[in-house]
Amino acid sequence: MNSAIKKLLFLPFITSGWGIYVQCMEVLPHDVTYYITSLVMGTTLGYDYSPCKTIAVEKKIDSVACNPDGDSLIFSSGNEITYLYKISKELLSLFKENKGCISSVAFSTDGKYISTVSTELPFVYPGIVRIFKISGELLHHFSGPTEPVFSIKCSPEGKYVLMGSEDTRAYLYKTSGELVYLFTGHTEAIAAVAFSSQGEYILTGSLDHTARLYKNSAELIHTFTGHTDGITSVAFSSGGDYILTGSLDTTARLCKISGELVHELKGHTGEIHYVAFSTEGDLIATGSDKGIIHVWDAVSGKQLKKLKGHTSIIRSITFMPDKNKIISVSCDGTLIVWQRSTYSSDWTSRPEAALTFGIQKEFLKLMTATGHTKICL
C-alpha cells in the first residue's frame, strides 16, 4: 500500500479529531482495516517474525541456496556431495558427480535446475561446473575459472551461469560451457554476484569495498562505493530498480541502480554475510556472522525486527512470496522457518489470532474513550 493511500485512509481520523463514528470497516479489505488499526496503535506487529520450525541440517554448511518457492534447499558441507532437501527435511536427491570440495551452489530461477562449482581432487583448478536437473540427472559439466569461485548464480531463463572468482573477475558462461563474457574492473576477489529479475543486468560485489553494475553484455554502468570493508552479498529488487549490498563493515546499503544512496542500514554488531529483498521489494533482511537477522522497511530504512536463533554465520535468507515466512540457513548447521506473527491461515487454532484480536480490542478501547463505539471489524 503506497504512502498516499495510507494518508487518505487515515485523514478522516486526523481532521475530525476522532469526532466520528467508525462505520463498519468490514466492508473494507482485511489488509486495509488492519493497516488502519496498526496506524492507530503505532505498531510494527505486522513484522513480528518468530521461529516456528528449526531443522538441524548438517554440522557445517559451506554453501546453500533455497529454491524460489522456498520449499526446498540445496547445500554442500565441505565434501563432494550436494544435498537437495525439502524444508520438511525429506531428502529428495543426492548430487554425487563432484569429485572434490564444493565451493558454491545455486538454483535456476524456475527451480528446475541446480548448478555446482567444485575443486576437483587433488585440489587443483580450474573448478568444474556442473548443471543438474533437480532429479539428480547430470546435464552439463565444464571447466570454469582458474581460481577459486566464491559465488555462482543461474540466469532467470536458465541458459547462463554467472560466477565470481578470487581472480577479481566475473565469468558468464552458457550452460553448455561456452564462455560468453568476462567482467573486469575489481581489484580484489569477487565474493558475490547477482542477476536482475529479467537477466538484463549483472551485479558484482568485491572485497575491494565496491559493487559494480553491468549490462549483461559486460558494459559497466555504475560503480557503487561507500563501504569501508569488503562486500560479501549483493541483491537486486524484483523490479530491478534498486540494489542492495552487505559488507564486512557491518552495514548494508540500499541504492538506486543510478547510484543514488537511498538508505544506509546500520544496527548489526557483526559482519554482514547475506542480504535479501522480499518479493515486492518493500522488506529487506540482512544476516550477520553472529547469526542474527535484521528485518528492515525498505521505504523508511527503519529496522522492524531482530531475529535471534542461529549461532553462526548466516549463509542464506529467503522471503516467501507472501512475506509471511522467512527461511534462514546458517553455518551452525540449522535451518529456521520464521513465521510472521499476525498471519494465520487457521485463526481458530493459532496464537496469531489472539494478537489480531488484541489490536482490534485496543482500537475499540481508544474509540470508546472518546465516546465513539460503533466499530465493526
Same-domain check for residues 292 and 315: yes
Question: For 106-119, what is the mean pLDDT?
Answer: 82
Query: Is 377 part of a structural domain of the chain?
Result: no
Tell me, what CATH number does 298's domain have?
Answer: 2.130.10.10
Q: Which amino acid is at 4?
A: A
Q: For residue 155, give its domain range.
A: 55-340
Question: For 324-344, what is the mean pLDDT?
Answer: 80
- The confidence score (pLDDT) of residue 79 equals 62
CB 332 within 8 A of CB 315: no
How far apart CA 148 and CA 167 sit, in angstroms, is 8
Query: Is 236 part of a structural domain of the chain?
Result: yes
CB 66 within 8 A of CB 72: yes
78: left (phi over 0), alpha (psi -120 to 50) or beta: left
**Burial (CB count within 10 angstroms: exposed 0-12, middle 13-18, buried 19+), residue 14:** exposed
Q: What is the pLDDT of residues 46-57, one digit of tens each?
A: 567 888 778 776
Query: Is 149 part of a structural domain of the chain?
Result: yes
Give the pLDDT band of residue 268 (cuts 50, 70, 90): very high
Same-domain check for residues 33 and 123: no
- The confidence score (pLDDT) of residue 27 equals 53
How far apart CA 118 and CA 260 sit, in angstroms, is 37
Same-domain check for residues 133 and 279: yes
Same-domain check for residues 293 and 359: no
Same-domain check for residues 238 and 158: yes
Same-domain check for residues 363 and 238: no
Span of 74-83, 96-105, 312-321, 343-352 with lowest mean pLDDT: 343-352
Query: Is 192 part of a structural domain of the chain?
Result: yes
How far apart CA 295 and CA 301 sit, in angstroms, is 10
What count of residues does the chain have?
A: 377
CB 49 within 8 A of CB 305: yes
Q: What is the pLDDT of residues 215-248, one digit of tens each?
A: 999 999 999 999 999 999 999 998 899 999 999 9
Query: Is 158 part of a structural domain of the chain?
Result: yes
Give the pLDDT band of residue 40 (cuts 50, 70, 90): very low
Query: Is 374 part of a structural domain of the chain?
Result: no
Query: Is 375 part of a structural domain of the chain?
Result: no
Is 156 a residue whose pLDDT tops 90? no
Go through 264-276 and write b for each residue having 16 or more CB atoms within 10 A of its CB, e for each that does not. ebeebeebbbbbb
Same-domain check for residues 289 and 228: yes
How far apart CA 223 and CA 211 sit, in angstroms, is 6
Number of domains the chain is built from = 2
Same-domain check for residues 240 and 357: no
Is 157 a residue whose pLDDT tops 70? yes
Same-domain check for residues 18 and 110: no
Q: Rounded to an integer, what is the distance from CA 184 to the centroid of its chain?
A: 26
What is the DSSP track for 329-362?
Answer: EETTSEEEEEEETT--SSTTTSTHHHHHHHHHHH
Same-domain check for residues 215 and 250: yes
Q: Which residue has the higher pLDDT, 65 or 177?
A: 177
Q: In the structure grid, which three cell numbers stand for residue 292, read together?
A: 542474527
Same-domain check for residues 115 and 161: yes
CB 338 within 8 A of CB 327: yes
Query: Is 153 part of a structural domain of the chain?
Result: yes
How far apart CA 63 and CA 95 sit, in angstroms, is 14
Same-domain check for residues 22 and 66: no
Q: In the structure grid, which three cell numbers stand for residue 32, read together?
A: 486495509
> Could you give the angle at which helices 30-41 and 3-15 cross, rounded to 10 degrees?
60
How far apart CA 56 and CA 284 sit, in angstroms, is 25
Is 269 a residue whose pLDDT tops 90? yes
